[in-house]
Structure 1
Amino acid sequence: MHAAIRPGAPWRWQLMLDESAEDEWIYRLDPRIRRPLTALTIMRDDLRRLVPEVRLLHKSTAPRPKDEIDFETVLPPLDDGRRHRLAAAPPLAPSPAPQPPPPDARLGGRRTSAEGPLV
């Protein structure tokens, strides 16, 4: 669900609903990717927000030019733990559109496991 001040204006907020089991979030496109629910959000400006590496994961399924810009903007300030979780996510099914290099290539090739969870 998205909300804007007026039609055609940029979104002011977005609400995302995802799968979970017990106290774990499960990425609906690949159940190997999981995180504790307690580690799924951060506080910023008195609002709870989705952690950047999970948001980038959502954007990676069919990236648009805007998503690539978001990745290039968000990647530099990510700490090592967040970069590792993003790089360790299993590769998703390729889309028919040309794709930029996978995140792990831009993270120095530090993918530790093709099947490792995003935890």
Structure 2
Amino acid sequence: MGADLGRWVPLPLNEVAGLFSSFPGTWWIAGGFAVELAVGHPVRDEHGDIDVGVVRSDHLTLHDVLRGWELWAADPPGSLRRWSPGEQLPAHVHDVWCKQGPEAPWGLQVMIDDTDGDEWVSRRDSAVRRPLAEIIGVGSSGVPYLIPAVQMYYKAARHRPKDDVDLRAVLPVMTGEERRWLRATVEATFPGHPWLSVVHG
């Protein structure tokens, strides 16, 4: 999905955190902002978007938190459709684009993750699982974020230059156990990935 779908002006992190402070379920900041929350300082000069993660069992309450916003489901492959309140999104839809009105830029992307009981289940590979409580970190800001090992596992799928920047930033703050987990899951899901030569336990 490209620029023809409209421009992005990411909502500031503090405003996103304020919106989701009333969210009744589990949520976390994902993407590049999650990396910066983990390391405690800016990593990149700018971000093209801002991502929030929620679990599928909570996704219907997004309309309550983002009251007055337009929510659009990213329906693979590569199309957006308006998402109406009360509609249960199908299992293959994992992303929702959000804007504050018809003429407004996109301000927020919500990513819907799946769970099995108390376990988070990767959308990339259902064999990759962790206790949901383990994948969320909280730093000095008090804003929850996706821990670096899981975030970088997701980023490995696209492997853009900015993802290499993020990896270099987070490796020093990851424990040996987390680096080993990242290496093992990347190796299992993306055999031969270039990161395998730089991620060590």
- TM-score by length of structure 2 reads 0.44
Answering whether residue 154 of structure 2 is matched by residue 58 of structure 1, we say yes
| Structure 1 segment 1-119 matched on structure 2, within 5 A | 4-5=10-11, 10=47, 13-16=50-53, 17-44=112-139, 45-89=141-185, 90-93=187-190, 101-103=194-196, 105-108=197-200
Does 69-78 or 59-68 show the bigger shift?
A: 69-78
Higher CA-based Rg: 2
Q: Distance in 1 between matches of 2:50 and 2:132?
A: 20
Q: Distance in 2 between matches of 1:15 and 1:26?
A: 17
Q: Distance in 2 between matches of 1:33 and 1:100?
A: 17
Name the CA shift for 1:23/1:3 in 2 (closer, same or farther; >3 Å): farther
Gaps of 5+ in 1: 111-119
Moved over 6 A (4+): none
Name the CA shift for 1:59/1:38 in 2 (closer, same or farther; >3 Å): same
Map Cα deviations across residues 12-54 of structure 1 (whole Å, 9 max, x no partner): 7411221101000000110110000110101111111111111
Name the CA shift for 1:65/1:100 in 2 (closer, same or farther; >3 Å): farther
Offset at residue 3 of structure 1 (A) = 6.8
1:57–1:86 Cα contact (<8 Å) kept: yes
Q: Distance in 1 between matches of 2:137 and 2:51?
A: 15
Q: Taking every aligned residue pair, what percent have the same amino acid on both sides?
A: 27
Amino acid in the other structure paired with 1:31: S
Offset at residue 66 of structure 1 (A) = 0.6
Gaps of 5+ in 2: 1-7, 13-45, 54-111
Question: Aligned pairs, how many?
Answer: 101
